[in-house]
């Protein structure tokens, strides 16, 4: 495998090459610690979420047997254990230091996609009704938190070009986990996005976990933006929601770790669209054989994407949302033969298939949530991908199924 060096300063040529040589069917991942493009698959396997760790070890063994000195497995796994993701053993890996800040200084490619139809599932009424139903479950004591999602299915006149979308995601979200991955060994569809949330990073025995829960929209005016951030840090509803997530993650990490450092309270993390409440948890694994994927699987699905209690929330999601999440709110990343790796939640994402897009967004609902406010939050989150595809101006606040005129998007 080729390594473009994780230590040397970023050069325009190397960073450009990493993006320009991307093609549909490759795996691309840029995090705050590295950028990579994997391709030339030695093996590619469709895998149930429940079989992910077994498949990881099988692929790493296959890599070692074929003569690879440092095999690595990359891929994407689903939200639900009974759905399928894709894990891949690359024959070629180009890896370098992260290129997010470099990308933020580059010109943004223009896109001229024409959306001819857009359908929200569920629509405004359906989504708000789901939130109201959840609120009643809270009052009855059956649930404490529930993350409810929706999709926006968009048909475009042209086939969606992935490389310029990746560049736009990188420029607008330089600190995010930007990814693009095949969804099956057969290729075809590309799952891509710019997630703000790390499930786990493992380096030796050390792990980092960075749950997010509690969000508010950013503002163009700097004074209003700072006021919104300060209000989020004081918001009882959002602090309550965030505490659920942190408490559950600490519960799950405790038996895996010999040391665990948990801050007293959350800090702020920003994307180009949102402020988030963020807690950075650091730990030392008790067993050095515990891989990054094993930790990620132990934590998933967290209350940040599911709810509390987990099993009851998961059942409610499947009853009410009206669609199957598949890879949305699953995980995307990599793991090497030492067990080191990074896995991010697959959020702020879309599935691109020829001239069809499916965009996903969810919001955490707790006691005190407002249905319209939760719907607006999902709209803001959808805006990350709509902007990347150049479709935000006319589709960002879409509430109802509609056919669009042939006028080009601005």
**For the chain, percent of residues with pLDDT exceeding 70:** 93
Q: What's the mean per-residue pLDDT of the chain?
A: 91
Which has the closest alpha carbon to 100: 19, 176, 200? 176
What pLDDT band is residue 12 in, cutting at 50, 70 and 90? confident
Q: Show Cβ contacts of residue 287 under 8 Å, excluding neighbours closer than 6 positions.
A: 256
pTM metric for this prediction? 0.91
pLDDT on residue 271: 85
pLDDT on residue 11: 58
| Average pLDDT over every residue of 155-176 | 93
pLDDT on residue 197: 94
pLDDT at position 9 over 70: no
| Average pLDDT over every residue of 297-315 | 94
pLDDT in tens, 198-254: 999 999 999 999 999 888 889 899 999 999 999 999 999 889 888 888 999 999 999
pLDDT at position 3 over 70: no
State both tokens at 188.
């075809």
Per-residue HEC secondary structure of the chain comes to CCCCCCCCCCCHHHHHHHHHCCCCCCEEEECCCCEEEEEEEEEEEEEEHHHHHHHHHHHHHHHHHCCCCCCEEEEEECCCCCCEEEEEEEEEEEEECCCHHHHHCCCCCCCCCCEEEEEEECCHHHHHHHHHHHHHHHHCCCCCEEEEEEEEEEEECCCCCHHHHHHHHHHHCCCCEEEEEECCCCCCCEEEEEECCEEEEEECCEEEEECEEEEEECCCCHHHHHHHHHHHHHCHHHHHHHHHHHHHHHHHHHHHEEEEECCCCCEEEECCCEEEEECCEEEEECCCCCCHHHHHHHHCCCCCCCEECHHHHHHHHHHHCCCCCCCCCCEEEEEECCCCEEEEECCCEEEEECCEEEEEEEEEEECCCCHHHHHHHHHHHHHHHHHHCCCHHHHCCCCCCEECCCCCCC
pLDDT on residue 1: 54
**For the chain, percent of residues with pLDDT exceeding 90:** 80
What pLDDT band is residue 304 in, cutting at 50, 70 and 90? confident
Give catalytic residues, as residue numbers.
Answer: 145, 197
pLDDT in tens, 166-190: 999 999 999 999 999 999 998 889 9
Four-point Cα dihedral 338, 33, 98, 386, nearest 10: 110
What pLDDT band is residue 373 in, cutting at 50, 70 and 90? very high
pLDDT on residue 15: 86
What pLDDT band is residue 4 in, cutting at 50, 70 and 90? very low
pLDDT in tens, 238-294: 898 888 889 999 999 999 999 999 999 999 998 888 899 999 999 999 999 999 999
pLDDT in tens, 105-142: 999 999 988 899 999 999 999 999 999 999 999 999 99
Q: How far apart are CA 234 and CA 230, in angstroms?
A: 7
């Amino acid at each position: 495998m080729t390594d473009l060096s994780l230590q040397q300063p970023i050069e325009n040529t190397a960073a450009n090459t990493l993006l320009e040589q991307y093609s549909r069917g490759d795996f691309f991942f840029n995090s705050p610690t590295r950028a990579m493009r994997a391709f030339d698959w030695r093996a590619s396997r469709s895998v149930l979420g429940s079989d992910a760790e077994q498949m990881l070890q099988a692929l790493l063994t296959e890599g070692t047997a074929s003569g690879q000195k440092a095999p690595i497995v990359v891929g994407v796994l689903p939200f639900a254990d009974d759905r399928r993701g894709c894990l891949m053993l690359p024959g070629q890996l180009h890896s370098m230091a992260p290129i997010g800040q470099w990308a933020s200084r580059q010109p943004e490619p223009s896109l001229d996609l024409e959306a001819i139809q857009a359908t929200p599932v569920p629509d405004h009424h359906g989504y708000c009704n789901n939130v109201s139903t959840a609120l009643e479950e809270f009052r009855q004591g059956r649930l404490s938190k529930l993350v409810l999602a929706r999709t926006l299915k968009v048909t475009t006149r042209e086939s969606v070009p992935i490389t310029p979308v990746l560049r736009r995601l990188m420029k607008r979200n330089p600190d995010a986990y930007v990814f693009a991955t095949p969804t099956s060994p057969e290729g075809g569809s590309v799952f891509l996005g710019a997630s703000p949330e790390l499930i786990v990073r493992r380096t030796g025995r050390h792990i980092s976990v960075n749950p997010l829960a509690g969000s508010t929209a950013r503002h163009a005016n700097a004074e209003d933006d700072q006021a919104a951030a300060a209000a989020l840090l004081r918001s009882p509803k959002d602090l309550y929601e965030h505490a659920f997530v942190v408490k559950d993650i600490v519960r799950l990490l405790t038996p895996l770790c010999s040391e665990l450092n948990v801050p007293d309270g959350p800090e702020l993390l920003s994307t180009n669209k949102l402020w988030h409440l963020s807690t950075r948890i650091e730990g030392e694994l008790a067993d050095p054989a515990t891989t990054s994927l094993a930790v990620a699987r132990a934590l998933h699905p967290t209350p940040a994407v599911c709810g509390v209690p987990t099993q009851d929330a998961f059942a409610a999601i499947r009853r009410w949302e009206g669609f199957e999440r598949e890879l949305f709110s699953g995980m995307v990343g990599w793991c090497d033969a030492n067990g080191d790796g990074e896995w991010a939640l697959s959020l702020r994402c879309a599935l691109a298939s020829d001239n069809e897009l499916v965009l996903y967004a969810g919001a955490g609902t707790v006691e005190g949530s407002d249905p319209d406010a939760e719907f607006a939050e999902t709209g803001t989150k959808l805006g990350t991908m709509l902007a990347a595809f150049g479709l935000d101006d006319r589709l960002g606040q879409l509430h109802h199924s509609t056919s669009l005129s042939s006028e080009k998007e601005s």
